[in-house]
Amino acid sequence: MLKTHNAADVDRNLLGQSVTLAGWVDRRRDHGNLIFIDLRDVSGIIQLAINPEIKPDAHQIGSVLRNEFVIQVTGKVSLRPEGTQNPKLPTGDIEVIAEEIKILSKAKTPPFYINDEVEVDENIRLRYRYLDLRRQRMKRNIVTRHKVIRYMRGFLDSQGFVEVDTPILIKSTPEGARDYLVPSRIHPGKFYALPQSPQQMKQLLMVAGVEKYYQIAKCFRDEDTRADRQPEFTQLDIEMSFVEEEDVMNLVEELFSGIVASIRPDVDIVAPFTRLAYAEAMERFGSDKPDLRYGLEIKDVTDILSGTDFGIFKNVISAGGRIRAIVAPGCGNYSRRELEELQGIARSTGAGGVVTISLDKPGVSSDELVMEDVHSIAAKYLQIGQIKQLVEILGAVGGDLLLLAAGDDDVTSAALDKLRREMAHRLKLVNDNIFHFCFITDFPLFYRDVEHNRWDSMHHPFTSPREEDKPLLADNPGGAHGRHYDLVLNGYEIAGGSIRIHEADLQRTVFQLLAYTNEQIDERFGHMLEAFSYGAPPHGGIAAGIDRFVMLLCEEASIREVIPFPKNQNAQDLTFGAPDFVTDEQLEELHIIINDKEIT
């Protein structure tokens, strides 16, 4: 190799020895006579000292070096002179006195300084991703990702799982998103779809008798990009035969606790993982991916307010809706502007707003409350008795702020979920040193797609209904529960799976409920129904989003930070410039005519 050591391996044990290092010039400081170079490689940074009195040749090269030049240097490991140590660097008391320097590659001035502390516009970072990835933080993220995947492989291998890779050019396998399509040259007018997940293939592997499958799988979903979504992402995909919900959940609990313990020994894992039924999660937290690191639970206060003359509440209650509330401790002194901000947050979820009740006097218990201490647009319609009951049910005291949302459950859940997260953040209730995992179970099998006036799968169409709910498919499909479970971590959904349907008849019934005609079912999913007719084992599985999980392990706010070459928020790859136009010749071969009008 062109080097004998990595930068970070140069330590006191090597004092007096000659080493050869290679890497990038992170920083160069010219002290007229002495030149100092911070040399960066994959492991970290070490200081080089170049003294013209020792090696004039090396000094001459040292004086032309610029940031990001790639160099090879040979020199002696020495202690830095007293008073020049850098306690911020692991190698901060050591330097290498350069004797020979070779420039391996020159560099233009980079578009941004390669340093973790410098904020750079994300699109510029993505355009020059190979420079961005030179930063220590980004390197650490890539290595963490590697360690997570390595742990997954090792663990699943030890449990008897077999990694099987499945094709990328397939037929649509629905997960509720739009497909990415690939035109066929050989079959004019026909398209492959990229897998939204390997769902159908892993089920076919169960029919094939593989019994324990996993894959680090790429999935493709043509959705609008958000901070924690990408057009293509990576899943740990798992499927097992002869299992029930508990088997899959227990396996996942052991795997994820093991990963966190090995990669983030500094955090506390809440064990065993919490289990919450979907309905309870929605009732208490307004979300099927609740952050359980803090309380601020939602309470139903409809009964307390029934009979009120306050218009908003009255109308909602008479229309069959509910009033639900959370308490923001110590926020009773919120200014008009702060309350307005909370209104904005509630409205951004589609709610009409939130009714705020500010309790003035800090520390006053519900018994001692008087109406003068209560401020709210609803105050003149409320009696002190009602306020006291609200305060009691919410566990509030004087000095707190009550936030009440009125409407259908969908509306109040969305608003209070967002307000709950906002208040936890403002009140610094979110403890970054806790990993609180939670399985959400007992999901409804279907939800009503109001826009298209039909049922849609809560998970995907291959999820089995609960045994006892099968009769409901005939006359009350909305009442049926699926054998579906999600894994949530600190407010993020990081895995989802289910026990599957393995009987052709039941699978057809479910497709019919999803408003597919029999012809469509045969055409799109005939292969699955046929496979089930040749002896399918009961089976189930799960898939975990690796990007999102690694994001949480790395304490990053976006999955783009843990994906080596992500798309930007416009679904573009800025390093390669994808998507891009292709030649007329290519289009012709693919039998495609572009509608020029759509090109901007």
Nearest CB to ligand ASP, comparing residues 52 and 537: 537
229 φ, ψ (degrees, to nearest 5): -130, 150
Nearest CB to ligand ASP, comparing residues 215 and 376: 215
Q: How far is the CB of 79 from ligand ASP (least distance, A)?
A: 55
Is 542 a residue that touches ligand ASP (CB under 6 A)?
Answer: yes
Q: How far is the CB of 459 from ligand ASP (least distance, A)?
A: 6
One residue of 541, 561, 563, 566 binding ligand ASP per CB under 6 A: 541
Q: Are 7 and 20 in contact (CB under 8 A)?
A: no
**Which residues, other chains included, contact 447 with Cβ-Cβ below 8 Å and sequence gap of 6+?**
455, 456, 458
Query: Which 543-582 positions form the footprint of ligand ASP (CB under 6 A)?
Result: 543
Q: How far is the CB of 162 from ligand ASP (least distance, A)?
A: 16
Mask 68-87, x = binds ligand ASP (CB under 6 A)?
--------------------
Q: Are strands 44-50 and 34-41 parallel, antiparallel or unpaired?
A: antiparallel
Alpha helices in 435-568 (DSSP H): 472-475, 504-513, 518-532, 546-553
Q: Are 56 and 72 in contact (CB under 8 A)?
A: no
Nearest CB to ligand ASP, comparing residues 155 and 220: 220
- How many CB atoms neighbour CB 321 within 10 A? 18
What is the spatial distance between Cα 93 and Cα 86, in angstroms, rounded to a whole number? Answer: 6
Is 195 a residue that touches ligand ASP (CB under 6 A)?
Answer: no
Length in residues, the chain: 600
Q: Are 20 and 74 in contact (CB under 8 A)?
A: yes
Is 199 a residue that touches ligand ASP (CB under 6 A)?
Answer: yes
Nearest CB to ligand ASP, comparing residues 402 and 487: 487
Pick the piece of the chain touching ligand ASP (CB under 6 A) from 137-145, 271-279, 410-418, 541-549: 541-549
Is 255 a residue that touches ligand ASP (CB under 6 A)?
Answer: no
Q: How far is the CB of 339 from ligand ASP (least distance, A)?
A: 39
Q: Are 518 and 512 in contact (CB under 8 A)?
A: yes
Nearest CB to ligand ASP, comparing residues 5 and 500: 500
Nearest CB to ligand ASP, comparing residues 174 and 290: 174
Instruction: Calculate the dihedral angle through the C-alpha atoms of 280, 281, 287, 290, rounding to the nearest 10 degrees.
Output: 170
Nearest CB to ligand ASP, comparing residues 296 and 501: 501
What is the spatial distance between Cα 262 and Cα 260, in angstroms, rounded to a whole number? Answer: 5
Residue with tokens 């008391």: 93
What tokens does 509 get? 């019934």
| Per-residue H/E/C for 287-341 | CCCCCCCCCCCCEECHHHHCCCCCHHHHHHHHCCCEEEEEEECCCCCCCHHHHHH
Q: Are 192 and 170 in contact (CB under 8 A)?
A: yes
One residue of 197, 215, 358, 490 binding ligand ASP per CB under 6 A: 197
Q: How far is the CB of 19 from ligand ASP (least distance, A)?
A: 49
Query: Which 167-186 positions form the footprint of ligand ASP (CB under 6 A)?
Result: 175
Pick the piece of the chain touching ligand ASP (CB under 6 A) from 123-131, 371-379, 538-546, 573-581: 538-546
Nearest CB to ligand ASP, comparing residues 197 and 507: 197
Pick the piece of the chain touching ligand ASP (CB under 6 A) from 10-18, 78-86, 403-411, 494-502: 494-502
One residue of 382, 498, 559, 561 binding ligand ASP per CB under 6 A: 498
Query: Which 338-397 positions form the footprint of ligand ASP (CB under 6 A)?
Result: none
Q: Total residues contacting ligand ASP (rule CB under 6 A)?
A: 9
Nearest CB to ligand ASP, comparing residues 55 and 481: 481
> Could you please report the per-residue DSSP string of 218-282?
EEE-B----TT--SEEEEEEEEEES--HHHHHHHHHHHHHHHHHHH-TTSEEPSSPEEEEHHHHH
Q: How far is the CB of 543 from ligand ASP (least distance, A)?
A: 4
Nearest CB to ligand ASP, comparing residues 444 and 496: 496
Nearest CB to ligand ASP, comparing residues 137 and 218: 218
**Dihedral sign (CA 417, 421, 426, 429):** positive
Pick the piece of the chain touching ligand ASP (CB under 6 A) from 128-136, 431-439, 540-548, 552-560: 540-548
Is 321 a residue that touches ligand ASP (CB under 6 A)?
Answer: no
Is 205 a residue that touches ligand ASP (CB under 6 A)?
Answer: no
Nearest CB to ligand ASP, comparing residues 235 and 358: 235
Is 496 a residue that touches ligand ASP (CB under 6 A)?
Answer: yes
Q: How far is the CB of 514 from ligand ASP (least distance, A)?
A: 16
Identify each DSSP E strand in 436-538 by its residue range: 437-441, 446-449, 454-457, 484-489, 492-499
Is 497 a residue that touches ligand ASP (CB under 6 A)?
Answer: yes
**Dihedral sign (CA 130, 136, 139, 141):** negative
Q: How far is the CB of 559 from ligand ASP (least distance, A)?
A: 15
**Dihedral sign (CA 463, 468, 474, 475):** negative
Q: How far is the CB of 173 from ligand ASP (least distance, A)?
A: 8
User: Helices 546-553 and 245-263, interaxial angle, to 10°?
Assistant: 40
What tokens does 593 get? 């005519």
Residue with tokens 């592997």: 205
Q: Are 310 and 378 in contact (CB under 8 A)?
A: yes
Pick the piece of the chain touching ligand ASP (CB under 6 A) from 114-122, 320-328, 448-456, 495-503: 495-503
What is the spatial distance between Cα 162 and Cα 206, in angstroms, rounded to a whole number? Answer: 12
Nearest CB to ligand ASP, comparing residues 482 and 491: 482
Residues near ligand ASP (CB under 6 A) are 175, 197, 199, 496-498, 541-543
